C-alpha cells in the first residue's frame, strides 16, 4: 500500500521535477523488491511449514524448557507468526554462529535475539525490529571493573559470533574468550577464568539472578555500548 501511494505522488509532479522521475524509479524498485520478497516467502512456505532456527541458550528469549523443547519469547513470537500465516512452525535449535549461513537452506528464518548489523545485512535481510537491547557487563561479585578503561587488557568471555564478541574484540589489549553457550562463559566468570562477560541485557539479568551473590551486572551504556535492535533474519533478496 505504501509503495502505491509513493508512486502516485511521484507521478503527480513528474512534468516539473526531475527528482520525481528518480522517485518513481525508486518506488518501482521498491515494488519489485516487495514482489520478490513475497515470492520467496510463498516459496518457503509452500510445504506448509515454517522452519525457524534458534539457539536456545539465550533466556528469556530462547531456552530449553523442562520438556526438552525450545521455549521463550522468540519461540512464542515465531509460533504466532506461523499461526497468522497458516503454516506449522518447526524450531531447529543450532549454534548461534551457524544461523546466518543456514538461512535459505536448513532454515527459512532465524529468530534468536539477533541484532541487526551492517555485516549481517550483507548475507541476510532483517524484518522490522521487535526489541531494543544493549550489551551488559557481567562481573564477579567483588570485581572493581566499572568503566570502559577498566576492561582494557582483560579476558572477556562472550558467546561466539555475537555482538558481545564483536565489542570484546574491539577493546584495547583485551582477549575475547568465546563459548558456544553463554552459560559456560558465566561459569568461567564464577570460576575466575575470565574477568568479565559481555552479553545482552535480558540474558545478563537472568544469569544475575541464577548466580545470585556470585555475580553482578552493569549496564553497557556505562561502558559506551550502543543500543541494539533485534529482528528476524530472512533470506537475502534485495541487492
Q: Given the rule CB under 6 A, which of 6-14, 20-28, 113-121, 173-181 is the region that contacts ligand GLN?
A: 113-121
Distance CA 30, CA 5 (A): 12
Q: Torsion angle, CA of 38/42/45/48, rounded to 10 degrees?
A: 140
**Residue 233 touches ligand GLN, criterion: CB under 6 A:** no
Q: How many CB atoms lie within 10 A of CB 151?
A: 21
Contact, 143 vs 153, CB < 8 A?
A: no
Check binding of 225 to ligand GLN (CB under 6 A). no
- What is residue 133's three-state secondary structure? strand
Residue from 51, 159, 178, 233 binding ligand GLN (CB under 6 A): 159
58 binds ligand GLN (CB under 6 A): yes
Site string for ligand GLN, 114-133 (x = CB under 6 A): xx------------------
Cross-strand partners of 124: 235
**What is d(CA 230, CA 126) in angstroms, rounded to the nearest whole number?**
9
Least distance from ligand GLN to the Cβ atom of residue 109, Å: 14
Binding segment toward ligand GLN, per CB under 6 A, in 85-93, 103-111, 158-166, 212-220: 158-166
CA distance 56 to 71: 8
The stretch near ligand GLN (CB under 6 A) out of 5-13, 36-44, 80-88, 111-119 is 111-119
Question: Closest approach of Cβ 48 to ligand GLN, in Å?
Answer: 27
Q: How many CB atoms lie within 10 A of CB 14?
A: 13
Closest distance to ligand GLN from the beta carbon of 40 (Å): 23
Looking at 75, 112, 124, 176, which residue binds ligand GLN (CB under 6 A)? 112
Contact in structure between 164 and 135 (CB atoms under 8 Å)? yes
Q: Nearer to ligand GLN by C-beta: 72 or 140?
A: 72
- The CB-of-174 to ligand GLN minimum distance in angstroms stands at 18
CB 186 within 8 A of CB 197: yes
Quick check: 52 binds ligand GLN (CB under 6 A)? no
51 vs 162, beta carbon nearer ligand GLN: 162
Binding mask 2-41 for ligand GLN (x = CB under 6 A): ----------------------------------------
Q: CA-CA distance, 197 to 131, in Å (whole number)?
A: 22
| Residue-level length of the chain | 239
Which residues, in sequence order, are bridge partners of residue 216? Answer: 139
Q: Please tell me whether residue 50 adopts helix, strand or coil conformation.
A: strand
Under the rule (CB under 6 A), what is the footprint of ligand GLN? 55, 58, 96, 112-115, 159, 162-163, 200
Amino acid at each position: 500500500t505504501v509503495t502505491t501511494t509513493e508512486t502516485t505522488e511521484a507521478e503527480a509532479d513528474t512534468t516539473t521535477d526531475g527528482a520525481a522521475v528518480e522517485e518513481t524509479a525508486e518506488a518501482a524498485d521498491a515494488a519489485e523488491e516487495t514482489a520478490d520478497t513475497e515470492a520467496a516467502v510463498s516459496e518457503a512456505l509452500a510445504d506448509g511449514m515454517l522452519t525457524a532456527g534458534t539457539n536456545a541458550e539465550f533466556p528469556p528469549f530462547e531456552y530449553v524448557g523442562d520438556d526438552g523443547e525450545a521455549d521463550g519469547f522468540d519461540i512464542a513470537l515465531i509460533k504466532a507468526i506461523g499461526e497468522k500465516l497458516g503454516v506449522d512452525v518447526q524450531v531447529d535449535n543450532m549454534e548461534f554462529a551457524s544461523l546466518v549461513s543456514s538461512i535459505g537452506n536448513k532454515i527459512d528464518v532465524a529468530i534468536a535475539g539477533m541484532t541487526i548489523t551492517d555485516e549481517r545485512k550483507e548475507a541476510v535481510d532483517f524484518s522490522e525490529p521487535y526489541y531494543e537491547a544493549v550489551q551488559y557487563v557481567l562481573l564477579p561479585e567483588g570485581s572493581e571493573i566499572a568503566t570502559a578503561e577498566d576492561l582494557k587488557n582483560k579476558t572477556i568471555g562472550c558467546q561466539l559470533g555475537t555482538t558481545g564478541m564483536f565489542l570484546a574484540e574491539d577493546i584495547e589489549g583485551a582477549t575475547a574468550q568465546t563459548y558456544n553457550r553463554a552459560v559456560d562463559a558465566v561459569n568461567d566468570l564464577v570460576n575466575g577464568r575470565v574477568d568479565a562477560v559481555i552479553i545482552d541485557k535480558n540474558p545478563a539479568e537472568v544469569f544475575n539472578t541464577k548466580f545470585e551473590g556470585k555475580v553482578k551486572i552493569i549496564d553497557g551504556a556505562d561502558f559506551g555500548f550502543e543500543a541494539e535492535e533485534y529482528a528476524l533474519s530472512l533470506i537475502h533478496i534485495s541487492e
